[in-house]
Amino acid sequence: MSSFSFDRDNSLYKNRDALLEEYTPNNLVGRDDELEEYHAALQPIINGEAPSNIFLYGKSGVGKTAATRFLLNRLQEDAAKYDDISLSVIEINCDGLNSSYQVAVRLVNTLRDPADQISNTGYPQAQVYSFLWDELDKVGGTVIVVLDEVDHINDNSILYQIPRARSNGYLEHAKIGLIGISNDLSYRDSLSAKVRSSLCEKEVSFPPYDANELQKVLSQREEVAFHDGALAEDVIPLCAAYGAQDAGDARQALDLLLEAGDLARKDAEQVTDEHVQEARQKLERDRIMEGVADLTQHARLILYALTSLEAEGATPARSRDIRPRYEQLCKHIGTEALTSRRMRDHLADLAMLGVISSTEKNEGMSGGKYRKHSLKQDLQLVVSALEETIELAGVHDSIRPYYQSDAEESA
Ligand SMILES: Nc1ncnc2c1ncn2[C@@H]1O[C@H](COP(=O)(O)OP(=O)(O)O)[C@@H](O)[C@H]1O
Ligand SMILES: [Mg+2]
């Protein structure tokens, strides 16, 4: 390129931003049953009755936050038509807030004037709650408090306090409806019976999306994001099929479409199946690279040990076969190997990450139950993800063909 001028390359995208996380669609598709249930749980509010507390749960990317915003917007619009209803909504995300105390502080500050904020330390918990009741009573009427990603909070105090504030006499003017949203499916069971009965008055579960539903989500977004004819016919069905196969996560499916669009934009006139395949590989690769980078050193050494066995064709391997190799690597870097039990925990985590696959064998009376492990990802990819660990612990002969250090590359 001789001149560095900038030309617009918007022949494929009409509005690329519509594929990003921040974009909120006007309408939700493919969630009819869940929306109906959720709608019914919110119905008392428009009747002027005491709001129910609602608990929403499902894995990430299944539309919990989107459905909440969508229905609460509608509810606010419709409530505005009635003179005898005053409805307010406060939504906060609990990611990054790890105690009820911090959540209460955040709620107080959301309700208060910017000039009148309280700090995250320095008040007894009871004082912060008392500030909260004061603020809520000032708002008055029906107040819906949404605690999104509520599973990040380590204690349940606020989930108990908010639903009971009125019956405990702390609130006079405000009727509170609490909506708790969790991405963690086991969270509900971890709640005490007392908290569960107040928070989970109404429950709505959001299952993963199937391919059909994902197609609807993606087609809706295609219309806003892409020009007519920018996508080859099979692109949406393919992204939807992969999305359903992976986790039924709409965010992941939208990310795949976005990545495919970005790849196509470089040199093609249309987004095709090949772009989707390539995008999928790239995203999977990024995910594995990031996942491995986030592992502890011992988890990486265990993965390295298994990788070297894989390169020798010695997989699937039992953990007792992986162990000597792992111990050898530990010795190289002068660290003590973890116990066999901890090692098996790490193998289970690696399987969760999707970098190895583990299958259970059952040899009945004689051999008992055990697991066999092998790499689930491309050997070359895992070796590159482990590059730093390999540099540290030394290059095992078996992986030499897959490993090129910077020094060897330039030699
Ligand atoms: N039914 C749907 N229709 C349109 N877009 C959706 C739908 N469900 C999810 N999305 C989009 O997918 C992404 C993830 O949804 P989100 O509501 O944040 O999931 P969750 O809160 O369950 O993790 C968001 O960008 C959202 O706009
Ligand atoms: Mg969410």
Specify if 356 maps to a domain.
Answer: yes
Model confidence pLDDT, tens digit, residues 342-374: 999 999 999 998 899 999 988 777 778 899 999
Q: 46 and 295 in contact (C-beta within 8 Å)?
A: no
How far is it, in rounded angstroms, from Cα 355 to Cα 239?
Answer: 22
Rounded distance from Cα 24 to ligand 2 centre (Å): 12
Does the bond joining 401 to the residue before it have cis omega, within 30 degrees of 0?
Answer: no
Specify if 73 maps to a domain.
Answer: yes
Specify if 17 maps to a domain.
Answer: no
Question: Is this prediction's pTM over 0.85?
Answer: no
Asked if 180 and 43 sit in the same domain, the reply is: yes
Specify if 3 maps to a domain.
Answer: no
Ligand 1 within 6 A of CB of 63:
yes
Question: Which residue, of 223, 243, 277, is where some domain finishes?
Answer: 277
Q: Which atom of ligand 1 is nearest to the CA of 62?
A: 22
Rounded distance from Cα 65 to ligand 2 centre (Å): 4
HSE-CB at 113 with a 13 A cutoff on CA atoms is 3
36: CATH: 3.40.50.300
Asked if 317 and 402 sit in the same domain, the reply is: yes
Ligand 1 within 6 A of CB of 83:
no
Asked if 48 and 197 sit in the same domain, the reply is: yes
Specify if 289 maps to a domain.
Answer: no
Specify if 21 maps to a domain.
Answer: no
Q: List strand residue ranges (DSSP E) for 266-329, in order.
A: 317-318
> Residues whose CB is under 5 A from ligand 2 (ion)?
65
How far is it, in rounded angstroms, from Cα 23 to Cα 40?
Answer: 26
- What is the maximum span of the chain, computed from C-alpha positions, in angstroms? 80
Burial (CB count <10 Å: 0-12, 13-18, 19+), residue 374: middle
* Over residues 42-66, mean pLDDT: 94
pLDDT-derived band of residue 411, with 50, 70 and 90 as boundaries?
very low
- Rg, the chain, Cα only: 26
How far is it, in rounded angstroms, from Cα 175 to Cα 182?
Answer: 23
Tokens 């003179």 belong to 83
Asked if 330 and 314 sit in the same domain, the reply is: yes
Extract long-range pairs of 317-323: CB within 8 Å, 24+ residues apart: 317/372, 317/373, 317/374, 318/370, 318/371, 318/372, 318/373, 319/343, 319/344, 319/347, 319/370, 319/371, 319/373, 322/347, 322/373
Q: 250 and 209 in contact (C-beta within 8 Å)?
A: yes
Q: List strand residue ranges (DSSP E) for 239-341, in order.
A: 317-318
Specify if 19 maps to a domain.
Answer: no
Residues 6+ apart with CB under 8 A from 68: 38, 56, 91, 146, 148, 179, 181
**Number of domains the chain contains:** 3
Counting ligands in written order, the one closest to the CA of 185 is 1
Counting ligands in written order, the one closest to the CA of 68 is 1
Residue 161 has pLDDT above 70, yes or no: yes
Q: Which atom of ligand 1 is nearest to the CA of 254?
A: 12
Asked if 61 and 133 sit in the same domain, the reply is: yes
Rounded distance from Cα 204 to ligand 2 centre (Å): 14
pLDDT at 406: 55
* Over residues 115-120, mean pLDDT: 90
Question: Which residue, of 142, 176, 205, is where some domain finishes?
Answer: 205
How far is it, in rounded angstroms, from Cα 250 to Cα 293?
Answer: 25
Asked if 240 and 299 sit in the same domain, the reply is: no
DSSP letter for 89, please.
E
Which two tokens mark 408? 């060897």
Asked if 49 and 124 sit in the same domain, the reply is: yes
Asked if 35 and 117 sit in the same domain, the reply is: yes
The sign of the dihedral angle between the CA atoms of 29, 189, 299, 350 is negative
pLDDT-derived band of residue 2, with 50, 70 and 90 as boundaries?
low
Q: Which atom of ligand 1 is nearest to the CA of 59?
A: 22
Segment holding 77, helix H or strand E = helix 64-79
**Ligand 1 atom 7: residue of nearest CA:** 63
Ligand 1 within 6 A of CB of 31:
yes
Q: Which atom of ligand 1 is nearest to the CA of 216?
A: 3
Q: Is 227 helix (H, G, I), strand (E, B) or coil?
A: coil
Counting ligands in written order, the one closest to the CA of 29 is 1
Specify if 14 maps to a domain.
Answer: no
Asked if 195 and 214 sit in the same domain, the reply is: no
Segment holding 267, helix H or strand E = helix 250-267
Counting ligands in written order, the one closest to the CA of 206 is 1
- Buried residues in 240-276 as b, exposed as e (16+ CB within 10 A): bbbbbebbbbbbbbbbbbbbbbbbbbeeeeebbeebb
pLDDT-derived band of residue 238, with 50, 70 and 90 as boundaries?
very high
How far is it, in rounded angstroms, from Cα 121 to Cα 135?
Answer: 19
**Ligand 1 atom 20: residue of nearest CA:** 61
Asked if 239 and 299 sit in the same domain, the reply is: no
Rounded distance from Cα 89 to ligand 2 centre (Å): 17
Question: Which residue, of 147, 177, 205, is where some domain finishes?
Answer: 205
**For the chain, what percent of residues have pLDDT higher than 90?**
82
How far is it, in rounded angstroms, from Cα 158 to Cα 126?
Answer: 11
CA-to-CA separations, 350 to 77, 162, 380, in angstroms, rounded: 48, 39, 17
Asked if 85 and 167 sit in the same domain, the reply is: yes
Ligand 1 within 6 A of CB of 251:
yes
Asked if 303 and 273 sit in the same domain, the reply is: no
Ligand 1 within 6 A of CB of 60:
yes
Rounded distance from Cα 59 to ligand 2 centre (Å): 9
353: CATH: 1.10.10.10
Residue 320 has pLDDT above 60, yes or no: yes
Tokens 């909120």 belong to 24
Q: Which domain holds residue 319?
A: 295-410
Residue 1 has pLDDT above 60, yes or no: no
244: CATH: 1.10.8.60
SS3 content of the chain, % helix, strand, coil (to 5): 55, 15, 30
* Over residues 88-97, mean pLDDT: 95
